[in-house]
Amino acid sequence: MSRHGDTMDRPPVERSQTPDNRQTHRLYPSLPSTDRYQVCAADRSRGGHHPDSRTESDGDVRMKAQILLLQEQRQELLCINEKWAKEYRTMVRYYKERVQELKASLQRDHTEEEEEEEEEVVREEGGNKAWLSKKVHKEKDGDELLKAEKEAEELRAQTRSLTRRGQHQHEEIRRLNRALEEALQTPRPLGVSGETLQDVWKHQAEVYKEDFLKERSDRVKLKEKYLEQEKKFRKVQSQLTWTPAPRPTLESGSADEAARAHREVTEVRHVNQRHDQPRRRRALNGEP
């Protein structure tokens, strides 16, 4: 701001009417409205002056009064300009600080918004990855469960087949035991050696015994494999948080089969002992 102020900011010049219809120009609204020239002129006209002073021309008096008035107005105007300059600098500093604060706030808000967007993107990506991982894991567990169920069903079918086969073999062993007992109780035909017949029966008993032991070994292996598959099946099933299927009573059936096998082996031993008794008697009697 210039010392004398901008022409656009200057207030309109007021004009005051004097009693003798003279117009006085006011340079600033805060300046006194009294015509100082008139006051000075009146004072001088009313005061007692030396007769020589009256010889001064009215033009000189008027000029001096105007000079004094202009000097006072100049001082007042300078004071007002200084106040306005100070106010202007204060307002400039205030608005600069305000603008900087607004810029900093805007930058901070923009940074926070970017951080929130990045966090949201990270959360969305993390959620998508977790969902995809969970989906893949669930599909994998489902495939493993289906595979385990299929293997368990195959093992159940093999177990049923072996159980039926074992039952047939047990029936055959019992039939052979009955036939052997009947043959021992019937009289021996002439020309047929008892030792040869006993050897044949022993051989048959050994063959059936080997078949039985092999069958039991296969059942034991199949049971172990079945239990292993069942363990895998239960593990996968627990991972999928499904309702666990009822466990088949394989142990009780295996225990019954083991007891039955033990009885059959005992029967075979009894039969072998019966076969050996005639030979021992002949050996004691000295017969060939």
Whether residue 226 sits in one domain with residue 105? no
Structure tokens that stand for 153 in this block: 């069903």
Q: 187 in the Ramachandran plot: left (φ > 0), alpha (ψ -120 to 50) or beta?
A: beta
| Residue partners of 208: CB distance under 8 A and separation at least 6 | 169, 172, 173, 176, 268
Q: Where do the H-state alpha helices sit in 186-249?
A: 194-239
Residues 246 and 188 in one domain: yes
Residue 86 and residue 156 in one domain: no
Give the pLDDT confidence of 220-230 residue by residue, as tens digits. 888 888 788 77
Does 164 share its domain with 214?
A: yes
- Domain shared by 162 and 251, yes or no: yes
Final residue of a structural domain among 98, 113, 128: 113
93 and 220 co-located in one domain: no
Containing 245, the helix (H) or strand (E) segment is none
Q: What's this model's pTM, rounded to 2 decimal places? A: 0.27
Strand partners, 14: 26
Domain ranges, residue 43? 14-113
d(CA 184, CA 246): 50
Q: Are residues 199 and 259 in the same domain?
A: yes
User: Chain centroid to CA 272: how far?
Assistant: 73
**Count of structural domains within the chain:** 2
Residues 161 and 257 in one domain: yes
> If pLDDT is split at 50, 70 and 90, which confidence band does 104 have?
very high
Query: Which element (helix H / strand E) includes 97?
Result: helix 58-185
Query: How many residues belong to the chain?
Result: 288
Claim to verify: residue 253 and residue 188 sit in the same structural domain? yes
Tens of pLDDT along 14-62? 444 444 444 444 444 444 444 444 444 445 544 444 545 555 578 888 8
- What whole-number distance in Å separates Cα of residue 200 and Cα of residue 218? 27
* Residue 135 domain-assigned (yes or no): no
Partners of 23 in the β-ladder: 17
pLDDT tens for 253-263 read 555 666 666 66
Of 155 and 274, the structure prediction assigns the larger pLDDT to 155
Question: Are residues 172 and 278 both part of a single domain?
Answer: yes
- pLDDT of amino acid 154: 85
Answer yes or no: do 154 and 261 share one domain.
Answer: yes
In a domain, 9, yes or no: no
